[in-house]
Structure 1
Amino acid sequence: MPTTRGDAARHLLNWVNLSTPLGLVLARAGGARLRRGPRRSILADYYRWAFPTGGAFTVGDVIISRHDLDLLVARRPALFGHELTHSRQWAACQGLPFLPLYAASMAWSWLRTGDRASRSFFERQAGLEDGGYAEVPTRPLRPVLAQAARRLRGSHRIPSGL
Structure 2
Amino acid sequence: MSVTVPSSRPWRRTLLLALGATWASPNTVLGLVAGIAGMAFGARPRWNARECAIVFHRWPWGPGGAMTLGNVILHTGDSLDVACSTYAHRAGLCVEAGIQLGDHERAHVYQYMALGPLFLPLYFLCGGISVRNRFERAADRYAQTGRGWWPW
1:1-162 correspondence runs (5 A): 5-6=12-13, 9-16=16-23, 17-31=25-39, 32-39=43-50, 40-50=52-62, 53-69=63-79, 72-76=80-84, 78-95=100-117, 97-106=118-127, 116-127=129-140, 130=143
| Structure number having the greater strand percentage | 2
- Cα distance change on mapping 1:94 and 1:74 into 2, 3 Å: closer
- Counterpart AA for 1:84: R
- Cα distance change on mapping 1:78 and 1:15 into 2, 3 Å: same
Residue 19 (structure 1) shift: 2.1
Residue 66 (structure 1) shift: 1.4
Cα deviations by residue, 1:134-157 (Å, 9 ceiling, x for unpaired): xxxxxxxxxxxxxxxxxxxxxxxx
Cα deviations by residue, 1:62-101 (Å, 9 ceiling, x for unpaired): 11111112xx514456221111110111112123x21121
C-alpha contact (below 8 Å) 1:23/1:59 kept by paired residues: yes
Long gaps (5+) in structure 1: 108-115, 132-162
TM-score normalised by structure 1 residue count: 0.59
| 1-structure distance, mates of 2:78, 2:141 | 21
| 1-structure distance, mates of 2:134, 2:19 | 24
Greater RCO (CA < 8 Å, at least 6 residues apart): 2
| 2-structure distance, mates of 1:10, 1:101 | 21
| 2-structure distance, mates of 1:49, 1:10 | 29
Residue 6 (structure 1) shift: 4.1
**RMSD between aligned residues:** 2.8
Classify the secondary structure of the residue corresponding to 1:68.
Answer: coil
Cα deviations by residue, 1:25-61 (Å, 9 ceiling, x for unpaired): 11111222101112332111111122xx451111111
C-alpha contact (below 8 Å) 2:107/2:143 kept by paired residues: no
| 1-structure distance, mates of 2:77, 2:48 | 15
| 2-structure distance, mates of 1:78, 1:129 | 10
C-alpha contact (below 8 Å) 1:11/1:61 kept by paired residues: no
